Amino acid sequence: GYQRVLEENRKLYNQVQDLKGSIRVYCRVRPFLPGQPNSVSTVDWLDEGSITINTPAKYGKDGRKSFTFNKVFGPSATQEEVFADTQPLIRSALDGYNVCIFAYGQTGSGKTHTMTGPKELTQESVGVNYRALSDLFLISEQRKETISYLISVQMIEIYNEQVRDLLVTDGLNKRYPFERNTLEIRNSSQNGVNVPEANLVPVSSTSEVIKLMNLGQKNRAVGATSMNDRSSRSHSCLTVHVQGRELASGMTLRGSMHLVDLAGSERVDKSEVVGDRLKEAQHINKSLSALGDVISSLSQKNSHVPYRNSKLTQLLQDSLGGQAKTLMFVHISPEPDAVGETISTLKFAERVSTVELGAARINKDNSDVKELKEQIANLKAALARKE
Ligand code: ADP
Ligand code: MG
């Protein structure tokens, strides 16, 4: 009787409390690529939760620097292993949470590999994006007797501080790069932060998702740089909107998931680039440093958080602040000549991991921690009276 209900409630309460804490940070080290000249990795040591980098003298006295994260994936970690540790977060979008997963790192470090996969996709090599959606379909199918779900996706890109829809097919060649097609990011109390003008496409199968992602991928602004011909100087964001309705009660919930592949974080030597490349570099620096400023002010618990300083931070506003569940994949390259970027990437990631989030909140019409707390207190009192 009471004892069981009390236990059930405590379990539920603990689950909610578990979501409290910092932004989760997972570090992933890219393997050396085939055809690369042999060199020794800058990674001296790694285990499940920490990584040590061999550094030239200028970065640390004893030539080594260690960092701790929620999880560290070495160069041999598979896509499946990486996804396994991400899955619980993803599933919570179906429970009405706002989830945000973003990939950070210098160009060529493996961001797109983690989020989307390599150029030739196979069942083993697909990244978090595809796996996340298949998983949502699977779970929503399992729950269909009790909850009916509507899942829709949007895919946008932020390039030079302009927001573009990547899911456009009509006259794409003519409209792309659609200089005038810059979309507004809105913040409404009902729908949270969203881009209402971007195509919102309902999806119910993995094959539909693959088609859309291919379209989005094609539409992304890519161009050649000396570092990586697939490098990208835009941020791309796949947003999954989840609407659920509990069949018995009619209660509705709304979850969302942002899957963000950020532009390369490397500092660009301004003397090397001119014209469009310089403009791109400046915009990337601006949005990534705005992201850094938001993270700093959150970790210092400042009352004013400067979300409005860039499109990126505006878009991620509900995912970085109080009530979201946020995971950052930080990527590093193993090459010795990348060590400067590797250290600054890991330092940034360490700063991110200190940001405390409030308890994640469900966008549901009748649930919150306070209520559960009260219930537990009442049950405890009832139990005490019985004994
Ligand atoms: P980014 O998006 O950060 O610029 P990419 O994801 O394009 O980097 O990775 C650069 C190259 O390295 C690609 O050819 C990619 O397939 C490969 N790569 C990245 N991470 C891995 C990994 N974990 N295992 C195997 N190959 C990888
Ligand atoms: Mg990429």
The DSSP string of 98-127 is EEEEEEEESTTSSHHHHHT--SS--TTT--
Distance from Cα 105 to the centre of ligand 2, integer Å: 9
Q: Residue 202 is which amino acid?
A: P
52-100 pLDDT tens trace:
999 876 666 678 899 999 999 999 999 999 999 999 889 889 998 889 9
Distance from Cα 317 to the centre of ligand 2, integer Å: 23
pLDDT band of 311, cuts 50, 70, 90: very high
Distance from Cα 109 to the centre of ligand 1, integer Å: 6
The pLDDT assigned to 83 comes to 96
Average pLDDT over residues 283-311: 86
Percent residues over pLDDT 90 in the chain: 44
pLDDT band of 377, cuts 50, 70, 90: confident
The pLDDT assigned to 361 comes to 65
- From the CA of 106, which ligand is nearest? 1
pLDDT band of 383, cuts 50, 70, 90: confident
Q: For residue 32, what are its two tokens?
A: 């050396």
Helices (H), the chain: 2-18, 79-84, 87-91, 111-115, 128-142, 172-175, 206-219, 275-299, 311-315, 317-320, 339-353, 369-386
Distance from Cα 281 to the centre of ligand 1, integer Å: 21
**Cβ atoms of 258 and 102 closer than 8 Å:** yes
Nearest CA to ligand 1 atom 20: 110
Nearest to 316 by CA among 266, 352, 340, 365: 352
The pLDDT assigned to 176 comes to 45
Q: How far apart are CA 196 and CA 122, in angstroms?
A: 33
Q: For residue 173, what are its two tokens?
A: 């060649």
Which residues touch 147 (CB under 8 Å, ≥6 apart)?
140, 244, 245, 246, 247
Distance from Cα 231 to the centre of ligand 2, integer Å: 5
- Atom index in ligand 1 nearest the CA of residue 28 equals 23
Asked casually if ipTM beats, i.e. exceeds, 0.90, the reply is: yes
Is residue 287 scored above 90 in pLDDT?
no
The pLDDT assigned to 218 comes to 78
Average pLDDT over residues 124-141: 95
Q: How far apart are CA 286 and CA 231, in angstroms?
A: 18
- Atom index in ligand 1 nearest the CA of residue 106 equals 3
Name the pTM for this structure.
0.84
Within a 10 A sphere around the Cβ of 180, how many other Cβ atoms?
6
Nearest CA to ligand 1 atom 5: 110
Nearest CA to ligand 1 atom 14: 118
pLDDT band of 382, cuts 50, 70, 90: confident
The pLDDT assigned to 139 comes to 94
Average pLDDT over residues 203-216: 90
Percent residues over pLDDT 70 in the chain: 80
Distances (CA, A) of 229 to 102, 108, 222, 223: 22, 9, 8, 7
227-261 pLDDT tens trace:
443 346 789 999 999 999 999 999 999 999 999 99
- From the CA of 80, which ligand is nearest? 1
- From the CA of 221, which ligand is nearest? 2
Of 47-61, 75-89, 177-191, 359-373, the least confident: 359-373
Distance from Cα 110 to the centre of ligand 2, integer Å: 7
User: Could you tell which of 81, 113, 157, 260 is best to mutate to test the pocket of ligand 1, judged by most ligand atoms within 8 Å of the CB?
Assistant: 113
The pLDDT assigned to 270 comes to 63
- Atom index in ligand 1 nearest the CA of residue 118 equals 16
- From the CA of 30, which ligand is nearest? 1
Q: For residue 50, what are its two tokens?
A: 């920490």
Average pLDDT over residues 328-335: 96
Average pLDDT over residues 349-368: 71
Higher model confidence: residue 288 or residue 76? 76
Q: Strand 162-165 to strand 147-159: parallel, antiparallel, or no bridges (unpaired)? A: antiparallel
Is residue 171 scored above 50 in pLDDT?
no
Q: For residue 18, what are its two tokens?
A: 């578990």
Distance from Cα 106 to the centre of ligand 2, integer Å: 9
User: Could you tell which of 26, 27, 28, 30 is best to mutate to test the pocket of ligand 1, judged by most ligand atoms within 8 Å of the CB?
Assistant: 30
The pLDDT assigned to 18 comes to 52
Distance from Cα 376 to the centre of ligand 1, integer Å: 48
pLDDT band of 355, cuts 50, 70, 90: confident
Distances (CA, A) of 204 to 65, 134, 140, 173: 46, 9, 10, 28
- From the CA of 117, which ligand is nearest? 1
The ligand 1 site (C-beta within 6 Å) comprises 30-31, 33, 105, 107-113, 118, 228, 230-231, 264, 331
Whole-number average pLDDT of the chain? 83
Nearest to 165 by CA among 183, 180, 179, 153: 183
Nearest CA to ligand 1 atom 10: 108
Compute the chain's Rg from CA coordinates. Answer: 22
